[in-house]
Structure 1
Amino acid sequence: MKTQVKALVVGGGAVGTSIAYHLARAGWSDVMLIERDELTAGSTWHAAGLLPLFNMSYATTHIHKYSVDFYKTLEDETGLNAGFYVVGNLRMAQTKERMDEYMLYASTAETCGVPYEWMTPAQIKDRWPLVRTEDLEGAIYHPTDGYINPADVTMAMAKGARQRGVAIERKWQADGFEWKGDHWDVTLTKMVERGGNLVPGDEQVTVSAEHVVTASGNHAQRTARMLGIKMPAIPVEHQYIVTEPDPALVDWRKAGNPEHPVLRDADAKWYVREERGGWILGPYERNAPARFEYSVPDSFRADLFPLDLERIEEEYMSMIHRIPSSETVGLKDDYNGPICYTPDGNPLVGPAPGLRNMWLAEGFSFGITAAGGTGYYLAQLMVEGEAEIDMASLDPKRYSSNWMTTEFAARKNEECYEHVYILHHPDEEREACRPLRTAPAYDRQKARGAQFGFVNGWERPNYFGPLDAPDSFDHDARSFRRGGWWQHAVDEAKAIREGVGLIDATAFSKHVVKGPGATAFLDWFTCNKLPKVGRINLTYALTSNGTTRTEYTIVRRAENEYYCVSAGAWTEYDADFLRKAAEDKMEEFGYIEIQDVTTQWGVFAIAGPKSRDVLAEVIKDAEPETALSNKRFPWLSARDIELGMCPVRAIRVAYTGELGWELHHPIEMQNYLFDLLEQAGEKHGMKLVGARAQNWLRQEKSYRAFGNELGRDATPLEADLPRFVDLSKEFHGKAKLEETGIRSKCCTLLIDGPADADPWGREALYTPDGTRVGRLTSGGYSVAFEKSIGMGYVKPELAVEGTKLKVKMQDKLWDATVTCDSPYDPKNETIRKDG
Structure 2
Amino acid sequence: MDIPSSAEVVIIGGGVAGCSIAYHLTKLGISDVVLCERKQLTCGTTWHAAGLVTQLRATRQMTELAQYTGELFGTLEAETGQATGFRRNGSLRVANNAARYEELARGASMARNFGLPVEAVSPDGIKERWPLVDTGDMVGGFWSPLDGQVNPADVTMAYAKGARMGGARIFEDLAVTQILVESGRAAGVMTSQGPIRAKHVVICGGMWSRDLAAEIGVTVPLQAVEHFYVVTETIPDLPRDLPVLFVGDEWTYYKEDAGKLLIGFFEPKGKPWGMDGIPQDFCFDSLPEDFDHVSPHLDDAIRRIPRLQSVGLQLFFNGPESFTPDNRYLLGETPEVAGLFCATGFNSLGILSSGGVGRSLASWIQNGRPPVDLIDVDVRRVQTFQRNRSYLAARAGESIGVSFDIHWPSRQFETARGIRRSPIHDRLLAAGAWMTEAAGWERPGFYGTDEERAEIRYSYDRPSWFANVGAECRTTAEAVGIFDHSCFAKYRVEGPDALAVLNKVSANQMDVPAGRVVYTQWLNENGGIEADVTVTRLAEDAFLVVTICVSQRRDLSWLKRHIPDGARVMVADITSGLPMFAVMGPKARELMRRVSPDDVSNEGFPFGTSREIDLGFARVRASRLTYMGELGYELYAEAEFAAHVYDTLIEAGRDLGLGHVGFFALNSLRMEKGYRHWGHDIGEEDTPYQSGLGFAVALDKPGGFIGRESLARQKSAGPLSRRMVQIRLVETEAPPLLLHHEPVLLDGKIIGSVTSGAYGYRVGASLGLAYVENEDGVTKDWLGSGELEVEIAMKRWPITAQFGPWYDPKGERIKA
TM-score between both structures, scaled by the size of structure 1: 0.93
Asked whether 1:828 is paired with 2:808, we answer no
**Deviation readout 1:625-652 (Å, 9 max, x if unpaired):** xx11122111101011111112110000
2:771 corresponds to 1:790 = no
Amino acid at match of 1:733: G
Distance 1:660 1:184, change over 3 A: closer
2:320 is the alignment partner of 1:338: yes
Aligned mates of 2:268, 2:805 — CA distance in 1: 47
Cross-structure match for 2:341: 359
**Is this contact kept in 2: 1:482–1:756, CA < 8 A?**
no
SS across alignment from 1:780: strand
Write the letter of the residue equivalent to 2:530. Answer: R
Give me the whole-angstrom Cα distance separating, in 2, the residues matched to 1:754 and 1:6: 60
Q: Does 1:528 align with 2:508?
A: yes
The corresponding residue for 2:225 is 236
Q: 1:529 to 1:2 in 2, by over 3 A?
A: same
Q: Deviations along 1:598-621, whole A, 9 cap, x unmatched?
A: 011111111111111111111134
**1:414 aligns to 2:393 (yes or no):** no
Q: Partner residue of 1:446? A: 429
Q: Do the aligned partners of residues 278 and 178 (structure 1) sit closer, same or farther apart at CA in structure 2, a change above 3 Å counting?
A: closer
What SS class does the counterpart of residue 53 from structure 2 fall into?
Answer: coil
- Confirm or deny: 8 A CA contact 2:129 2:242 kept in the other structure: no
The CA distance in 2 between the partners of 1:23 and 1:760, in whole Å, is 40
Superposed, 1:60-71 pairs within 5 Å as 60-71=62-73
The question of whether the paired residues in 2 share the 8 Å contact of 1:753 and 1:814 is answered with: no
Shift of 1:180: 3.4
Stretch deviating more after TM superposition (13-22 or 571-580): 571-580
For residues 457 and 592 of structure 1, the distance between their equivalents in structure 2, rounded to whole angstroms, comes to 30
Q: Tell me what 1:96 maps to.
A: 98
Alpha-carbon shift at residue 53 of structure 1 (Å): 2.8
Shift of residue 320, structure 1, vs aligned partner:
0.9
**CA distance, structure 2, for counterparts of residue 451 and residue 286 of structure 1:** 23
- What per-residue deviation string (whole Å, max 9, x for no partner) do you get for residues 123-168 of structure 1? 1123332111010000111111111100111111111111222111
Distance 1:754 1:452, change over 3 A: farther
2:267 is paired with a residue whose SS is coil
Picking from 493, 518, 521, the partner of 1:513 is 493
The answer (yes or no) to whether the contact 2:480–2:659 under 8 Å persists in 1 is: yes
Code of the residue aligned with 1:678 in structure 2: it is I
Aligned-pair Cα RMSD in Å:
1.8
Match of 1:778 in 2: 756
CA-to-partner distance for each residue in 1:765-792, whole Å, 9 max, x for gaps? 3334321111111101122321111101
Q: Say whether 1:657 aligns with 2:635.
A: no
1:615 to 592, 596, 602: 592
Question: Relative to structure 1, is the Cα distance of residues 288 and 533 closer, same or farther in structure 2, using a 3 angstrom cutoff?
Answer: same
Single out whichever of 146-155 and 227-236 deviates more from structure 2.
227-236
Does the residue aligned with 1:488 lie in a helix, a strand or coil? helix
**What are the residue-to-residue correspondences of 1:174-185 with 2, within 5 Å?**
174-181=176-183, 184-185=186-187
Residue of structure 2 equivalent to 1:455: 438
The equivalent of 1:667 in structure 2 is: 639
1:644-694 Cα distance to aligned partner (Å, 9 max, x none):
112110000010111101011112222222221112111111121111111
2:298 corresponds, among 310, 316, 323, to: 316
In structure 1, give the amino acid aligned to 2:726.
T
Q: Which amino acid aligns with 2:207?
A: N
Give the structure 2 partner of residue 706 of structure 1: 678
Alignment of 1:482 with 2:462, yes or no, is yes
Aligned AA for 2:233? E
TM-score by length of 2: 0.95
Determine helix, strand or coil for the equivalent of 1:72.
Answer: helix
CA contact (8 A) 1:761 1:791 kept: no
Q: SS in structure 2 opposite 1:251? A: coil
CA distance in 2, matches of 1:78, 1:218: 29
> 2:361 corresponds to which letter in structure 1?
L
**553, 574, 577: which one aligns with 1:572:** 553
**Deviation at 1:350?**
0.9
Find the aligned partners of 1:753 and 1:114 in 2 and give their Cα distance. 31
Structure 2 equivalent of residue 195 of structure 1: none
> What does residue 151 of structure 1 align with?
153
* Aligned pair partner of 2:248 in 266, 270, 278: 266
Cα distance between partner residues in 1 of 2:438 and 2:5:
43
1:605 matched residue in structure 2: 582
Matched to 2:462, the amino acid is: R
Name the SS for the 1:376 alignment partner.
helix
Letter in 2 for 1:431: E
Q: Which amino acid aligns with 1:305?
A: L
SS at match of 1:815: strand
**Inter-partner Cα distance in structure 1 for 2:41 and 2:721:** 42
Could you report, residue by residue, the CA deviation over 1:396-421 in whole angstroms, capped at 9, with x for unpaired residues?
A: 12221156512112221111112222
1:245 pairs with one of 206, 215, 234: 234
Does the Cα contact within 8 Å between 1:760 and 1:779 map onto a contact in 2?
yes
- State the partner residue of 2:690: 718
Q: Is the 8 A contact 1:620 1:644 kept in 2?
A: no
Hey, what does 2:412 align to over in structure 1? 429
**Contact residue 183 and residue 208 of structure 1 kept, 8 A:** no
| Alignment correspondent of 2:58 | 56
Q: Is the 8 A contact 2:269 2:397 kept in 1?
A: yes
Give secondary structure in 1 for the equivalent of 2:451.
coil
Structure 2: how far apart are the matches of 1:165 and 1:182?
29
Counterpart Cα distance in 2 of 1:394 and 1:232: 12
Contact kept in structure 1, 2:184 and 2:336, CA below 8 Å: no
The question of whether the paired residues in 2 share the 8 Å contact of 1:763 and 1:807 is answered with no
Aligned equivalents of 1:753, 1:70: Cα separation in 2 = 46
Letter in 2 for 1:776: V
Matches within 5 A, 1:675-714: 675-714=647-686
C-alpha separation in 2, matches of 1:94 and 1:753: 32
Equivalenced residue count is 801
| Cα distance in structure 1, aligned partners of 2:191 and 2:272 | 28
Contact 1:547 1:737 in 2 (8 A): no
CA distance in 2, matches of 1:233, 1:760: 32
Question: What residue in structure 1 maps to residue 601 of structure 2?
Answer: 629
- Could you say what secondary structure the match of 1:85 adopts? coil
Letter in 1 for 2:670: R
3-state SS of paired residue (1:17): helix
- Taking the aligned partners of 1:544 and 1:168, their CA distance within structure 2 comes to 34
Whether the 8 Å CA contact 1:586–1:592 is kept in 2: the answer is no
Q: Give the CA deviation at 1:288.
A: 2.7
What residue number does 1:815 align with? 798
Contact 2:327/2:402 (<8 A) preserved: no
